[in-house]
Each structure stands twice: as C-alpha cells, then as structure tokens.
C-alpha cells in the first residue's frame, strides 16, 4: 500500500509470489481513499453486484472509484446461489463487451460469496484475464470465499464445477457492511469462522466459544478479530498450497456433506454456510467413528455450531442420494469419495471412509 | 519423453518453466505408443472431437489411449466456428460430469482450432483445471492454434473474448491427418504458416515461396518442415511472453482485420485462416502507408498469399463497420485500435494508426 492507513485498519498478506496481495479489514473502508490506491491502472472499472447489495453500497463504491477510473460501470445480478450459473455470468460478459471494456479493465466484486465467485471467474476469463478486486459484504465472504482465488459457477450436476484459480489484486473487508446482513447470513458466515478452529487452531476455537454471543450481536471488535484471524489461517494454508494439490483441501471441512445438502435440496434452499455448519457435524461424527476424536470434542463443536444459529441435523435425502451427490465432489478420485476429517482437535486430513460408516453418520445426523 | 521416438518424429520444446511441454511432429503418431507415454496418470480420459473428425480418427486415438486409461470416453461436438460458443462448450462439461470424471481426468482435443480452443478452455475450467493434450488434425491447428496455451470461446460481441491461458501437457501433430483435409482448409492453414515469414524470419519466407506448390500438393517432407519451423518460431515467441504482455501480440499479424471480417460476415462464413490471409494483406498495406515497408515487399507477400489459394480482397462491410468491429479487439486499449505492423521484413511491432489511414487501406483492400 502506498498510503498509510488509519490505526483501525488491519492488513493480512497472502504470500503467493507475483500473485501476492493484501486483505484490508476495518470500518468505513468503502469511503477511505487509501483502500483503493495502488490498484492496477486502467481507464475503466466495472462494479459487479446484486439486487440486494446494489441499493446499499454501490453508490458509495462508485464514488470511491470515480477518483481513480475515468469510467465506472455497474452490472447488477439477481441475488442468490440459484443464479450462480452461466446465464448470469454471461450478464457480466455482456456488460464488459457492450461498454467496450479492454483487457486492463478492473472488476470489483461487491457482495457475498456468489458475487465474488462469479466476478472472479468472469475476470479470469474475460479476454483471458483482467484484474479484479474483492469487496465482500457478507461475513462468509470476508472470512472465506473472497480470499484465496477460488472462483467458479455451478453446473446442474455439481457445485463449483466450472471455474479457475485466479487471485484478486486486493480484498477490502469493510466491517460496516455487516450491519445490514440478515441474521441468517451472519450465522452462515459464522460456520466458516468456526471451521478454522477444529482444522487449525484450538486457541481460536476457545476464543470463538468465549465470544459467540458477542459475535451474534455483531460486536464490532469481536467481528474484527474473527475476520482477521480467519483470514490469517486461510492465508497461511493458501500460501502453502494455492491450487489445492494437498493441504488446502482441509479448508473444505464440512463441505463434502454440505455440498450434497445444497445440491440435494436445490441450490439456495439452505445457505451455503448453513449446509457447511451441518456438514461439519457430520464430518465430526465421521471422524469419531473412525476413532480419531472423542465424543466430547464432537459435542463441544456441535454445541458451538448450534449457538451460532446453524442447523446440526441434515435433511432426509436418503443415504443413497447423499452418496451419489458426494461422488461428484471435486476431491473424489476414481469414484472414491474423500472426506476432510479431524485427526485431532486443531488438525485435519483428507481421506476415504467405508460407505457403511458414512451411512451410519448419515443415519445419525439426518431426519 | 521417457521412450525414444523413431527417427521420423521431430520434437519442439515450449519452454515455460513448470508448464513446459513438447510438440511431437511426424507421420503415424496416432498409432505410435511412444506418442502417448509419460502423460499425466489418471483413470479416465475424454476425447473431445467433432462430427467431421470423429469418423476419421477417433477410433484410432481411442485404441492408442485405452492402453493407458481404464476408461476412455468421447464427446462429439458440431463442427465449425459458428459453434465455438458456451452452449457447445457445455456439452463437454455435461460429458465430464455425467461420466463422473474427476480432477485428474485428461482431455484430448482431436480436431482443428475450434476443437482445440474449446477443449483447452474446458480443461482450464473443469474443476478449476484438469490436464489436456492437443491432437491437431488441421494444418492451421498444427502450426498455430494448438501451440501456446491460448484457449477461448466466442461471444456474440467478439471473437475469443472468453477464455484462458492454459498450456497443454503435450501437442501431437500426426501429419497423416492432413491427408483428409479439404483443400480450402489446407489453404487456411498456410495463411498462418506464411505469417511467420514477415513477422519473424525472411529465410523461412524464402523457403515458403520456393515450396508453395509442394505444400499445396501436400508433399509430406514440405509439410513436415513447414509445421516444424512454424512451431519453432511460435515456441520462441511464446517462451518469451506467455500471457501476451508484449511480444506475443506479433503472432496476431493480420488478425485484427481478420477478426473483423469473420465477425462482420458471421463466424464460419470465411474460415479463420482465410480471414487472416486477407487481413495480412491489409496489415501489409497499412505498414506501407505508415512508411515502414515498400510496395515491392507488400506485393511479394500478397502474391504468396494468393498462390496459397487465399483471398486477398476483403468483403465490403463498409469502413465504419470494420472500425467498430476492430475496437472490440483484445489488443485495443481505451478504445484505440492497435495493429500488428511489419516494421521491416522479418520484424513486427504493435501500434496504433490514424483512422484516416486505416480507411484508405480498407478502401484499397475491399470490394
């Protein structure tokens, strides 16, 4: 960053060689010129947002960017996971081409995980790659999806099946935007915050337990710490394994079960974070049945998930349907489902599991 | 390569660090086990081809691959530039997902430039990236489009607007496949061969002039040399500038005008190589009007283009329409069209040009 930030702005660096970038975390960042300096030079910027976020924050972002870019265009997508498809993505390409945007144009993803994933994939693909900036406005996007360069759209046969590893030029997390977040989405974001405890940091798990009520009532300092520590852990993992050849997969704890829930119910029925919350309970139960962790730890984390307002029991899709949906998970190899399990509190691994054991877990955790 | 090749197989290396790969050039490669060894290990392969090429060569490739992969699937796309769109690309994703292909699955692009570009983009995007191999069966694909990692689909508002830089694991050019190529497509491929002369190698230009009749009657030795030398020049340029931040753009000589012809007439009306052939004549005329080269060199290359069976006069779309179409070219910046010009025989550069000069060129070169 060229200009100094006020003391309240925190910075987390994602170290990826010439693809390195900073995550800025703080209050009022949308209106802070320093948050937008030193970005790639271009004549044109395109803000990609959705129908929910646009009326709240798009004007503020456009004001901030108009000092830097001669033309600032905007495209407003329909809101929700159900629209994370090619048809909606094409609205971004239509906007880019109809405004004559060139290969230096910078895209800004203003919204939650869906907007971020789609904008990132659009940036990766438009003219074979233009720069983009993540401006996450949901807790889930701030602590997880905006960081690390995973971009994608869904295919009717599987979630996030079409996409790219493509890093943003910067991530700007304005904590003020969390004020307008529906409580259900706050909870969904907390699922990804809680996730970092069992897979990487029991000290952070202790902290979340002690502060879950503060987080639920959106205490600014508690949110700031949760976002920062989550980003630090994610930065550390992604810095070691950008393209998920190994370690990075642990960030998908709860996601194999969770994706099956989302796909089985139809995208958008449960929020992604809700499915992950419930999926973590299943992942914990599987880890226990594999003899890796004890029941007390399972209960401890399950209780925390419940206190975050998240479901801990899955929909009764039937074990066969769950297994079928999980076989198209990206971690699967030659038809074998691979699960993220907790080896011991604070450490995760990726491995297969006998179908019979998975059926038991599903029987226990669904109704 | 682990195994030695027969003497008739030539190898050109694309040096791109951990994305380096070999181009194999020779006769009978489809049936030669050594052409398919040492590729990424996987349980599954998917051959992507089209309705024209499938009946000719798909069975041969499937036989070669079945020694290496447990399951070899196939998807047959409609043939032609008009189908280089999302809808057709999605047929590849449908095939991958319905066959349960995982993130180690290897894709094989068996066909011309359209099949190669689409398969490459599908490989870049499926589960955020799976390996792929180019098996070009047209001269154009063997000398140009299969080499260098440019992948893309078209958008109604512009050619190759959505894609990725994504390198194949190998390129296998079986010269035998050129035997079934329609004469019109042979000519289209020669356009890209001729291109390498004015932009990079006047010695090669001399050789093409001396051998154009042999090339037109598909003399095997002449084709082998043309493919090899073209790949060497392209390998050299791409090795210096993989993502087209500068030098690589010279490979687009004739393409700015050419893309306008293709888009203006509707994709598929003229073959890409035909549009490039005519576009090179326009590019040469522009270079002359800019005072860079003399009329004798323009006439020399124009004559060669005509001897290759290519059009040297463009369709009368009107200058305004040409300019409008060229403004969405990927090389354009802030609305200024950027042309590849010949600075002197054997050397090219990218620069803008006054609209008035471009109009004169269009008036001279269209009817």
CA distance B163 to chain A (A): 5
How many other CB atoms are there within 10 angstroms of residue A236's CB atom?
Answer: 15
For residue B255, indicate whether it is catalytic: yes
What confidence tens digit (pLDDT) does each residue in A290-300 have?
999 999 999 99
Listed residue (A100, A181, A210, A327) closest to B324, CA to CA? A100
The first and second tokens of residue A296, run together, are 């007390």
Could you tell me what percent of chain A has a pLDDT over 90?
92
A13 touches chain B (CB under 8 A): no
Where b means 16+ CB within 10 Å and e means fewer, B103-132 reads bebbbbbbbbbbbbbbbbbbbbbbbbbbbb
Q: At what angle do helices B220-240 and B183-200 cross, to 10 degrees?
A: 50
The first and second tokens of residue A259, run together, are 């994706």
Establish whether A180 is an annotated binding residue.
Answer: yes
A44 touches chain B (CB under 8 A): yes
B128 touches chain A (CB under 8 A): yes
Residues of chain A in contact with residue B104, where contact means CB-CB under 8 angstroms, are 333
CA distance A330 to chain B (A): 6
Q: Is the pLDDT of residue A158 over 90?
A: no
A327 touches chain B (CB under 8 A): yes
Residue B335 has what pLDDT? 83
Q: Share the mean pLDDT of chain A.
A: 95
Q: Which residue among A192, A232, A242, A262 is the active-site one?
A: A192
CA distance B157 to chain A (A): 7
Q: Which residue among B150, B225, B229, B289 is the active-site one?
A: B150
Residue B5 has what pLDDT? 45
Listed residue (B35, B354, B349) closest to B176, CA to CA? B35
What confidence tens digit (pLDDT) does each residue in A293-325 have?
999 999 999 999 999 999 999 999 999 999 999
Residues of chain B in contact with residue A86, where contact means CB-CB under 8 angstroms, are 86, 90
Residue A330 has what pLDDT? 86
B124 touches chain A (CB under 8 A): yes
Among chain B residues, the shortest Cα distance to A327 is held by: B100
Residue ranges, chain B, pLDDT below 50: 1-6
Pairing label, strands B44-50, B71-77? parallel
Among chain A residues, the shortest Cα distance to B86 is held by: A86
Query: Residues 6 or more apart from B57 whose CB is under 8 A from it?
Result: B30, B49, B110, B137, B177
A93 touches chain B (CB under 8 A): yes
Residues of chain A in contact with residue B243, where contact means CB-CB under 8 angstroms, are 128-129
What confidence tens digit (pLDDT) does each residue in B47-104 have?
999 999 999 999 999 999 999 999 999 999 999 999 999 999 999 999 999 999 999 9
CA distance B151 to chain A (A): 8
ipTM of the complex: 0.93
Structural domains of chain A ordered from first start: 10-180 (3.40.50.1970), 183-365 (1.20.1090.10)
Residue A106 has what pLDDT? 98
Cβ–Cβ of B100/A328 closer than 8 Å?
A: yes
Cβ–Cβ of B90/A86 closer than 8 Å?
A: yes
Cβ–Cβ of A93/B44 closer than 8 Å?
A: no
Q: Which residue among A248, A288, A330, A338 is the active-site one?
A: A248
**Distance (Å, whole) CA B282 – CA B254:** 7
Q: Is the pLDDT of residue A154 over 90?
A: yes
Q: Is the pLDDT of residue A230 over 80?
A: yes
Residue A189 has what pLDDT? 98
* Length of chain A (residues): 367
Place of tokens 């403004």: B327
Residue A42 has what pLDDT? 92
**Distance (Å, whole) CA B364 – CA B84:** 31
Residue B135 has what pLDDT? 98
Q: Which of A98, A128, A164 lies at the smallest CB-CB distance from B125?
A: A164
For residue A50, indicate whether it is catalytic: no
What confidence tens digit (pLDDT) does each residue in A85-130 have?
999 999 999 999 999 999 999 999 999 999 999 999 999 999 999 9
Establish whether A137 is an annotated binding residue.
Answer: yes
Residues of chain B in contact with residue A151, where contact means CB-CB under 8 angstroms, are 128
Could you please report the per-residue DSSP string of A104-162?
Answer: TPEEEEEESHHHHHHHHHHHHHBTT---EEEEE-SHHIIIIITSS-EEEEEETTEEEEE
Cβ–Cβ of B44/A102 closer than 8 Å?
A: no
Q: Which residue among B7, B70, B128, B367 is the active-site one?
A: B128
Cβ–Cβ of B157/A98 closer than 8 Å?
A: yes
CA distance A333 to chain B (A): 6
Among chain B residues, the shortest Cα distance to A130 is held by: B164
Q: At what angle do helices B355-365 and B272-289 cross, to 10 degrees?
A: 120
């Amino acid at each position: 960053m060229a200009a100094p930030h006020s003391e309240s702005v925190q910075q987390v660096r994602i170290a990826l060689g010439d693809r390195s970038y900073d995550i800025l975390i703080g209050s009022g960042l949308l209106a802070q010129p320093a948050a937008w300096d030193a970005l790639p030079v271009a004549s044109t910027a395109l803000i990609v947002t959705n129908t929910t976020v646009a009326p709240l924050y798009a004007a503020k972002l456009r004001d901030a960017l108009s000092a830097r870019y001669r033309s600032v265009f905007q495209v407003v997508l329909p809101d929700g996971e159900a629209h994370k498809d090619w048809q909606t993505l094409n609205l971004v390409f239509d906007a880019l081409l109809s405004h004559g945007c060139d290969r230096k144009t910078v895209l800004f993803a203003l919204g939650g995980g869906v907007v971020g994933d789609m904008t990132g994939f659009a940036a990766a693909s438009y003219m074979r790659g233009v720069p983009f900036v993540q401006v996450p406005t949901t807790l889930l996007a701030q602590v997880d999806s905006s960081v690390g360069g995973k971009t994608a759209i869904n295919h009717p046969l599987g979630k996030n099946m079409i996409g790219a590893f493509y890093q943003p030029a910067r991530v700007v997390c304005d904590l003020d935007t969390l004020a307008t977040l529906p409580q259900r989405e706050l909870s969904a974001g907390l699922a990804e915050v809680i996730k970092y405890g069992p897979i990487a940091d029991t000290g952070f798990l202790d902290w979340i337990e002690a502060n879950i009520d503060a987080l639920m009532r959106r205490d600014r300092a508690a949110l700031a710490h949760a976002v920062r520590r989550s980003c630090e852990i994610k930065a550390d993992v992604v810095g070691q394994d950008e393209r998920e050849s190994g370690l990075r997969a642990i960030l998908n704890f709860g996601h194999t079960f969770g994706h099956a829930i989302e796909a089985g119910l139809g995208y958008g029925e449960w929020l992604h974070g809700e499915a992950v919350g419930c999926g973590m309970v299943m992942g914990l139960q599987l880890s226990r049945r594999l003899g890796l962790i004890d029941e007390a730890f399972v209960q401890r984390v399950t209780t925390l998930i419940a206190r975050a307002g998240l479901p801990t029991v899955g929909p009764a899709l039937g074990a066969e349907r769950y297994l079928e949906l999980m076989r198209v998970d990206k971690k699967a190899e030659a038809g074998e489902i691979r699960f993220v399990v907790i080896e011991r509190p604070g450490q995760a691994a990726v491995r297969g599991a006998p179908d019979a054991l998975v059926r038991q877990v599903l029987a226990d955790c669904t109704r």
